[in-house]
Every structure is written in structure tokens, then in C-alpha cells.
Amino acid sequence: MRFDTRLVHVGQEPPAGTGDLVPPLHLASTYERDVQDPLRWFYARGENPTREGLERCLAALEDVRFASVFSSGQAAGATALAVLARQRVIVSDDVYGGTHSLMGTLADRGVEVRYEDLADPEVVAAVFADDAAAGALVWVETPTNPLLKVVDLAEVSRRAHAVGAVVLVDNTLAGPVLQQPLRHGADVTLYSTTKSVAGHLDVLGGALVHDREDLHEAFTAHRTAVGNVPGPFDCFLVHRGLKTLSLRTRCQVATTGLVVEALCGSPAVSEVRYPGLPGHPGHAVAARQMTGFGSLVSFRYRGDVDALLRRTRLFANAVSLGGVRSLAQCPAATTHRPVPPEVRARLGITDDLVRVSVGIEDPEDLLDDLERAFRTT
């Protein structure tokens, strides 16, 4: 089956006897052992049919064998760090604010955390020429959040594997329609399924996708032990959202192109950051490893950002991304507040930076909303 067919069919097989085209929602917390042949189901913290249907679908999207889902993207990340982070973690310098918080917990336990600009080829060469990278966990975001830098996944994976490092890619911003990290050499793909995968701003979830049986056993054992499992109804909602993922993504990418064009032409905007722009430093890499440039754009606003966000009517002033509704926010004041101020300043995550997540509304209405907000500056 091709990608779009997998979205609809994998993990949604009709159950025997009834033929439901939507499999039943398995809400039970425990299972009668004497009626099972073979004995497989024990307790829902460890096993749940609804959850496993979602996992089969997520694994199929990257054409691999394994996926483990969690109660949130942060829970997926925490599990990956518990299993994979030993003495050293090398992290993209521009990452989601919650990732900074996760890394802080590692540093408190004595794990060395090194932030590096993995979008810079010279930095990448230097990082993996150093013996200190041997055996490390390499945590990559691309495009990065919120500056939308682009990391060459094939090059980072090649150099990392040469020194025995493991590569995890947080693919939340791009999503599986636009980018599949495992095809470019990464070992594990992480998703906050809360975002574009579910797509409707109504559920939390996370996932780790890969093709290594040893990691599958380790991730699921850790999940069962600590209990950061998603409930069956949450899994149902994420799986339902997956069915329209390609349709939503294509719509959002097309509309984002129009939004970027409008932003580039506005005198109220001093800079636009979007991998689809030919002048973007990572444009060529993004064009090679992605099938589209995404539905997020960041820009620097010349006026009062708080006032701008109050004036928009369709772009909700809210965090998150990838959903059906358009959102706008100031990362320095919200998602990236956990990042130390001096680090934000060095990276350029300043008070004039606005990050926009484009939804599926009519493009003309979104453009009108932006024009109205800028005009009343």
C-alpha cells in the first residue's frame, strides 16, 4: 500500500464477526485470562488493542516495524532519554522549549548536554571529529523550533554512526507526510502526535518510531514500568486524525506559501524565516529531504507584538502547531520561556519574533486577517 492508503487502512482492519469499518474502542483496564487463546492480554498499562492499532499505522507510515505511543510528546521524549541517554547528549541548539526542560533534567543527573548548531555543516564536521561524540545520543530537530533552521539528516546520521552515536529526530514540525527521518539514516523518529498527526487540537499524545527490536522492547518496558501510556480514547482520536493527515498537510503547505508571500511584502515585517524561501540557508537541504516546506513560518515584527496578536481574529494567540486552526504566538513569551534569556538572545528568539502555524481555513480569509492586523498598527 502507498502512503495515503496506509493512513486510512493500517491498524483499522474490520474485526471478525461484525465487520466494523471503525474498530471498536477497547476501554477495559484488564482482561479475562481464561478465554484467551493464546494468552496475550494482561493489563491495559501494558497492552491495549486500540493503542496497538495506532502503533501499527504510525510504523507503517515510515515503512518500519515498530512504534510506541505515549501520553504526550514530552512523555515520548522522556522515555527516549531514559533508554538512550548515557553520558552525553548532543542537541540542536534551536529546539522546542519543552526539550530544553527535558535536557535540564538530564544535566541535573550528571549527563553532559551539549547544544550545537547542527544546521551548520562546519559545526557538524567538528562535533563528530571530536572523540567526545562517541556513543552519544544526538537529538535533532529539523526544521527547528522556532527559527526554522534545517539540518542535513543524512550527513548528521552518517557522521554520528561513524562514531557509534544514536540519532533521534524530533519530526513534529514537518510531520510524516513531508519528511521521514528514518529514510535519511536516523535511528528513531519522535512525534508529538498532539500536533499535525492528530491535527484537531483536542488530544495529547507522543510516539517513537523505529526499526530496532531491541529499542522496541526497551521503550515499551519503560512505558509499562512508569505508566506514561495514552488512554484508548486518546489513541482513537489520534488515529482518526491520521486519516486526513495528507489532505490537511497539503492544504496547509499551499496556504503557508501565500502567507509567506504576504509577510515578505509587508513593511511591518523585517525578516521572514521559512525553508521554502530560496534565500533561506537551508533551502537546498529542505528541498532534498522534504516533500514540502511545512506550515510554520516565523517573522520579526516591527511593532508591538502583543498588540498584533490581540488584533488577529482568525490566528488565535495560542501555543501548539499543526492543527486545523491557525495559531500565532511569541515564542520568547510562551514556548521558549524555559530557555535562559541569554541563550534566547544569542539564538535570536527575541520579543519581536512571531511564530505562525497555518491551519486549513480559506487562504483569503487568513490573508485578510493579517492585512487588517498590520494595517491597524
pLDDT digits 0-9 by tens, 42-101: 999 999 999 999 999 999 999 999 999 999 999 999 999 999 998 999 999 999 999 999
Give the mean model confidence (pLDDT) for residues 196-223.
Answer: 98
pLDDT at 376 over 80: no
All 3 cell numbers of residue 213? 527490536
User: pTM for the whole thing?
Assistant: 0.96
Within 13 Å, how many C-alpha atoms sit on residue 104's CB side? 9
pLDDT at 346 over 90: yes
Q: Which of 94, 170, 187, 234 is catalytic?
A: 170
Within 13 Å, how many C-alpha atoms sit on residue 341's CB side? 2
Residue 170 among the catalytic residues:
yes
CA distances from 297 to 255, 258, 354 (A): 11, 11, 8
Within 13 Å, how many C-alpha atoms sit on residue 233's CB side? 3
Does an H or E element contain 74, and which?
Answer: helix 73-84
Q: Which of 29-38, 213-222, 368-377 has the highest mean pLDDT?
A: 213-222
Within 13 Å, how many C-alpha atoms sit on residue 281's CB side? 14
CATH fold match for the domains 3-242 and 245-375: no
Mean pLDDT of the chain: 96
Euclidean distance between CA atoms 219 and 122, whole angstroms: 33
3-state SS, residue 173: coil
Question: Cα(first)–Cα(last) distance of the chain, in Å?
Answer: 51
Q: Which of 93, 96, 274, 355 is catalytic?
A: 96
How confident is the model at residue 108, as a pLDDT? 87
Q: Which of 51, 88, 149, 195 is catalytic?
A: 195
Q: Which of 45, 158, 212, 240 is catalytic?
A: 45
Identity (one letter) of the amino acid at 18?
Answer: T
- Which residues fall within 8 angstroms of residue 375, CB to CB, at 6 or more apart? none
Q: Per-residue confidence at 23, pLDDT binned at 50, 70, 90?
A: confident
pLDDT digits 0-9 by tens, 229-263: 999 999 999 999 999 999 999 999 999 999 999 99
pLDDT digits 0-9 by tens, 114-139: 999 999 999 999 999 988 899 999 99
pLDDT at 158 over 90: yes
Identity (one letter) of the amino acid at 163?
Answer: V
All 3 cell numbers of residue 26? 477497547
CA 110 to chain centre: 27
Tell me the CATH number for domain 3-242: 3.40.640.10
The CATH number corresponding to 245-375 among 3.40.50.300, 3.30.1540.10, 3.30.565.10, 3.90.1150.10 equals 3.90.1150.10
Residue with cell 510504523: 59
Q: Is 335 exposed, middle or buried (0-12, 13-18, 19+ CB in 10 A)?
A: buried
pLDDT digits 0-9 by tens, 280-337: 999 999 999 999 999 999 999 999 999 999 999 999 999 999 999 999 999 999 999 9
Domain segments of the chain as ranges: 3-242, 245-375
pLDDT at 377 over 70: no
Work out whether the CA dihedral 342, 348, 352, 355 comes out positive or negative: negative
Residue pair 263/147 in contact (Cβ under 8 Å)? The answer is no
Smallest Cα–Cα separation from 136: which of 190, 89, 83, 82? Answer: 89
How confident is the model at residue 88, as a pLDDT? 95
How confident is the model at residue 33, as a pLDDT? 94
Q: Is 40 exposed, middle or buried (0-12, 13-18, 19+ CB in 10 A)?
A: exposed
Residue pair 137/377 in contact (Cβ under 8 Å)? The answer is no
All 3 cell numbers of residue 324? 486545523
Q: Per-residue confidence at 15, pLDDT binned at 50, 70, 90?
A: confident
pLDDT at 16 over 90: no
Q: Is 225 exposed, middle or buried (0-12, 13-18, 19+ CB in 10 A)?
A: exposed
Euclidean distance between CA atoms 276 and 286, whole angstroms: 8
pLDDT digits 0-9 by tens, 38-48: 999 999 999 99
Residue 45 among the catalytic residues:
yes
Q: Beta strand pairing status for 316-317 and 269-273?
A: unpaired
